[in-house]
Amino acid sequence: MPSHIEKFIFNPFQENTYVIHDGSNCVIIDPGCYDRDEEETLLSYIEKNHLKPMAVLLTHAHIDHVLGVDFITKQYEVPYYLHEKDLQTLMAVSQYAHMYGFPGYREPKEPDILLKGNEELVFGDISFSVYYTPGHCTGHVVYHNISENYVINGDVLFAGSFGRIDLPGGDLETLKESIYNTMFMLPEDTVVFCGHGPETTIGKEQKANYILQF
């Protein structure tokens, strides 16, 4: 069956967490749940739909995208995936979590799978091609479902905007390369699920994204 994509908006950064499932198996992408209510919201959805979590996939390791990694991986005993170049980003989170208002942040173990880019991942009937898209941070990736024409793109593109480049590992020219040479090479009708805010399409962003002004 086609993938079902469920979006949850978690934590004060209004981060988008995705549960993608095929009716039985699911993956959780960028679990940003922090407090107990958010954790229960995610658990309730998974349990009510009788889903079996297979993995946690991270687009990158900024704090708002990883707050729930330890909770989910322990709750379901599943592996999690992160690009190898963002391991340092992940390791730094515990050093500044309290400054961002997350004193209860629980540091996860090291990733089970370190990505390099260009992998093909399959979980039941869910499949992704992994593309390396640095610029917002050093080890950012996106997850493209080719057959169903959507991409989970984290903080590379937003509707009419793009990921900030003023954090460690951010670089405007590198991000532009990722957008022009990877994201804008996808079909125009590809649906883009963003790390914050609403969905968009590649075609819309090719015509009007703010990145075009730079």
Distance CA 204, CA 159 (A): 8
Q: Per-residue confidence at 1, pLDDT binned at 50, 70, 90?
A: low
Domain that holds residue 120: 4-213
Assess contact for 189 and 202: CB atoms under 8 A.
yes
Tell me, what CATH number does 148's domain have? 3.60.15.10
Helices and strands counted in the chain (H then E): 6, 14
The residues facing 150 across adjacent strands are 145, 191
Note the pLDDT of residue 157.
98
Q: Per-residue confidence at 2, pLDDT binned at 50, 70, 90?
A: confident
Note the pLDDT of residue 21.
98
Q: What angle do CA 138, 31, 210 make, to 5 degrees?
A: 50
Among residues 29, 87, 83, the alpha carbon closest in space to that of 53 is found at: 29
Count of structural domains within the chain: 1
Beta-strand ranges (E) seen in the chain are 4-10, 15-21, 25-29, 52-57, 80-83, 113-115, 120-123, 126-132, 141-145, 150-152, 157-158, 161-162, 191-193, 200-201
Q: What is the pLDDT of residues 159-209, one digit of tens each?
A: 999 999 999 999 999 999 999 999 999 999 999 999 999 999 999 999 999
Note the pLDDT of residue 174.
98
Distance CA 196, CA 121 (A): 24
The residues facing 64 across adjacent strands are none
